[in-house]
Amino acid sequence: MDIAALREAHPDHWRRAAAIRTLTLDAVAAANSGHSGAPIGLADVATVLWSKHLKFDAAHPQWPDRDRFILSNGHASMLIYALTYLTGMPGMDLQQIKDFRQWGSKTAGHPERGHAPGVETTTGPLGQGLANAVGKAMAEAHLRAVWGEKVVDHHTFVFAGDGCLMEGISHEAIALAGMQKLDRLIVFFDHNGITIDGKVSLADITDQRERFDASGWDTFACDGHDPDDIDRAIREAKASPRPAMIECRTHIALGAPQQDTAKGHGAITKPEDVAATKEAYGMAAGSFVIEDEVKSWWEEVGARGGEAHAEWRARLDKLSKGKRAEWDRVEAGEAPRKLQSTIRALKKQAVEAMPKLATRAASEKVLEVVNPIMPETFGGSADLTGSNNTQAGGITVFDPENRAGRYVHYGIREHGMAAAMNGIVTHGGLRPYGGTFLVFSDYARGAIRLSSLMAVPTVYVMTHDSIGLGEDGPTHQPVEHLAALRAMPNHLVIRPADQVETAEAWEIALTSMTTPVTLALSRQGLPAVRSKNTNKNLVSQGAYVLAEAEAKRQVVLMASGSEVSVAMDAKAALEADGIGARVVSVPCMELFWQQDESYRRRVLPGGAVRVAVEAAVRQPWDRFLLGERGREQKAGFVGMDGFGASAPAETLFEKFGITADAVAEKAKSLL
């Protein structure tokens, strides 16, 4: 690559883009770790996009109608840190750049939402940003239809590398976006031909443009180092009535000795390499030196959106008082006041009827009353609508002909759905939920983890939550999934026992501000167990005394979901033998462990024999069997210690010994 020719062809552009490059070189060298190649390779594309197209107001990175910029190749984090520093976003000073990848800095190794300004979503696990962006573009299209172009009218821009496009999630995202005709979505493919192991051709010969074309995109190409050509491609992409992909032909680590090699992907840290690269760029040799003129130019770019922002705010102020209050409420992510009374009324009805109901059907009953009063819910399913009971309350299908629709046929794409939901929730203004079978949480786990790490309230409606699924067999029966999800930090797994608990679970999910929720729901019908305390949300305590011992308390039985009624039956059998047994319903372990110790000891007192029952592996129950402060505790578990089998559900519970008799026997054997 002839760097001198690039410098000469567009001298002003070159110096502005080179500022990104030298900041990258210096920050990576200071950290002695990171990725130099991609930020350097993408600096020209970023400079053109941010200065000529991206609608943003650096002073207010959270302006709701900003264009979204997503760095799906998150290892190129120095690119976004350089851009947000150069344009003057609040809190992004030069010290942050100098502290790249250090404890306490905003400039984490990969961009983390909530740490640095301008980071729309956490990226790094490849492909996530791209799939997240599809959700953002869907959110924009929907909100534009609902609120009008005067208040919602923006683009979603994504930078993605070869890694993003190799990951399977990219296929799910691309196909969904193509079907949805998301014309405001523009993806820049950093086509540099290099991955960590070497040339892309070691592992891939895919023609990416042909592949995007096949899924209904328009595709374009440009020389990723020619600002005019980049600008031309962006203009063409914006004019396209379909989602657009721009193949940007770039050189990884442009101008460095490692250019166009796998070594250029990682950290360029040797002082002589850094110096040689800066010299090639025609830039000053000192560290973290940015010409004043260049910095001023970038700050002007950052300030340019201020006017549009002010105009937008004036338009927002013209909304009626009621509409404006609604806008502010959904932007803040707050549930409507009416939610609590609606849930209470539903619970009251349930207690009067005490219906036998699958909790997935109970969930549908919640959605029937909640969706009409919460216009911000945005539902969907990964092609299991009838099984997940997720389309309820009159919401219509979101598609290119009906952008006001609030229900998405995500297709058989659990991972893409989860990531898109993360995109929707981080876009703001909407509260997404999506359904699949609990066993397929495995497929979505990469994105579920990001919900937890980003601290956003994405809701996963996971039905068919045990061997109770029956004949479909062990490939479809979750056994270890409750444990695996409970192990995840900042994630609520709620497994309600009946209609009342399901309503309370949804109330928690719909009011959660910083924690994603997985609702684990049964396929099979379950008897109602909650007949009291309908006003208070008992699920919010995580575990509570559902039924007190009648005879002298010798046993505490603990259970969740479909096994709560098993525990109730076991209690009846024990009481018939004169053995007092308390039943503790444990719909949400995480919430229980957040209660204070005195509450926990009241619910789970020492002394009594403890038996837990759940049609799943034991691992997360050990802590319940351990007792507070490691006090002596005779305890046992009734559940699964291997995979399930294919047979009717009742047969499976019998054959795997998850029965009231087995629970009562276990308790007796410990007494």
Q: Nearest approach, Cβ of 461 to a second copy (angstroms)?
A: 15
Report the alpha-carbon distance of residue 257 to residue 192 in Å, rounded: 16
Burial per residue of 58-95, b for 16 or more beta-carbon CB atoms within 10 angstroms, e otherwise: bebbebbbbbbbbbbbbbbbbbbbbbbbbbbbeebeee
Is 384 annotated in some ligand binding site?
A: no
Q: Nearest approach, Cβ of 599 to a second copy (angstroms)?
A: 19
The answer to whether residues 485 and 493 touch, using CB atoms and an 8 Å cutoff, is yes
3-state SS, residue 366 = helix
Is 375 annotated in some ligand binding site?
A: no
DSSP single-letter state for residue 265: G
Sign of the dihedral defined by the CA atoms of residues 561, 567, 572, 575, in that order: negative
Is 192 annotated in some ligand binding site?
A: yes
Which residue's CB is nearer to a second copy, number 391 or number 499? 391
3-state SS, residue 626 = helix
Which residue's CB is nearer to a second copy, number 490 or number 511? 490
Question: Which tokens hold the place of 363?
Answer: 């969930």
Is 648 annotated in some ligand binding site?
A: no
> Which amino acid appears at position 353 of this protein?
A
Which residue's CB is nearer to a second copy, number 161 or number 429? 161
Strand partners, 580: 553
Report the alpha-carbon distance of residue 603 to residue 543 in Å, rounded: 8
Report the alpha-carbon distance of residue 519 to residue 540 in Å, rounded: 13
Q: Nearest approach, Cβ of 234 to a second copy (angstroms)?
A: 24
Helix pair 359-370, 499-511: axis angle to 10 deg? 50
> Which amino acid appears at position 413 of this protein?
R
Is 490 annotated in some ligand binding site?
A: no
Q: Nearest approach, Cβ of 282 to a second copy (angstroms)?
A: 30
Of 450, 445, 659, 500, nearest in space to 569 by CA? 659
Q: Could you tell me where the DSSP H helices lie in 524-637?
A: 564-576, 589-594, 597-603, 622-626
Is 75 annotated in some ligand binding site?
A: yes
Which residue's CB is nearer to a second copy, number 184 or number 415? 415
Question: What phi and psi, each to the nearest 5 degrees, are found at residue 607?
Answer: 90, -50
Active-site residue list? 414
Beta strands 68-71 and 156-160, pairing class: parallel
Is 389 annotated in some ligand binding site?
A: no
Question: What phi and psi, each to the nearest 5 degrees, are found at residue 214?
Answer: -60, -25
Question: Which tokens hold the place of 161?
Answer: 């590398």
Q: Nearest approach, Cβ of 438 to a second copy (angstroms)?
A: 13
Count other C-beta atoms under 10 Å from residue 287's C-beta.
16
Which residue's CB is nearer to a second copy, number 41 or number 161? 161
> Which amino acid appears at position 354 of this protein?
M
Quote the longest CA-to-CA distance of the chain.
Answer: 93
In terms of phi and psi (left: phi > 0; alpha: psi -120 to 50; beta: otherwise), the region of 227 is: alpha
Which residue's CB is nearer to a second copy, number 269 or number 349? 269
Cβ partners under 8 Å of residue 315, min gap 6? 150, 151
Which residue's CB is nearer to a second copy, number 425 or number 547? 425
Report the alpha-carbon distance of residue 424 to residue 133 in Å, rounded: 8
Q: Nearest approach, Cβ of 126 to a second copy (angstroms)?
A: 6
Is 215 annotated in some ligand binding site?
A: no
Question: Which tokens hold the place of 471?
Answer: 């004949």
CA dihedral 424, 426, 427, 428 (to 10 degrees): 100
Sign of the dihedral defined by the CA atoms of residues 328, 331, 334, 339, in that order: positive
- Secondary structure in 3-state letters for 385-439: HHHHCCCCCCCCECECCECCCCEEECCCCHHHHHHHHHHHHHHCCCEEEEEEEHH
Helix (H) or strand (E) holding 379: strand 377-381
Q: Nearest approach, Cβ of 349 to a second copy (angstroms)?
A: 30
Which residue's CB is nearer to a second copy, number 74 or number 302? 74
Is 194 annotated in some ligand binding site?
A: yes
Report the alpha-carbon distance of residue 475 to residue 438 in Å, rounded: 11
Report the alpha-carbon distance of residue 493 to residue 408 in Å, rounded: 23
Q: Nearest approach, Cβ of 174 to a second copy (angstroms)?
A: 9
> Which amino acid appears at position 468 of this protein?
G
Is 157 annotated in some ligand binding site?
A: no
Which residue's CB is nearer to a second copy, number 334 or number 471? 471
Helix (H) or strand (E) holding 315: helix 292-317
Q: Nearest approach, Cβ of 463 to a second copy (angstroms)?
A: 13
Is 148 annotated in some ligand binding site?
A: no
Which residue's CB is nearer to a second copy, number 538 or number 617? 617
Taking CA atoms, 59 is separated from 68, 77, 292, 394, 427, in Å, by 15, 20, 19, 41, 19
Q: Nearest approach, Cβ of 217 to a second copy (angstroms)?
A: 10
Is 155 annotated in some ligand binding site?
A: no
Is 13 annotated in some ligand binding site?
A: no
Which residue's CB is nearer to a second copy, number 299 or number 480? 480
Is 591 annotated in some ligand binding site?
A: no
Is 235 annotated in some ligand binding site?
A: no
Taking CA atoms, 241 is separated from 140, 187, 479, in Å, by 15, 14, 45
Q: Nearest approach, Cβ of 645 to a second copy (angstroms)?
A: 7
Residue positions forming the annotated binding site for Mg(2+): 162, 192, 194
User: Known binding site: residues?
Assistant: 35, 75, 124-126, 162-163, 192, 194, 265, 360, 387, 440, 464, 472, 476, 523
State the binding site for substrate: 35, 265, 360, 387, 464, 472, 476, 523
Annotated binding-site residues for thiamine diphosphate read 75, 124-126, 163, 192, 265, 440
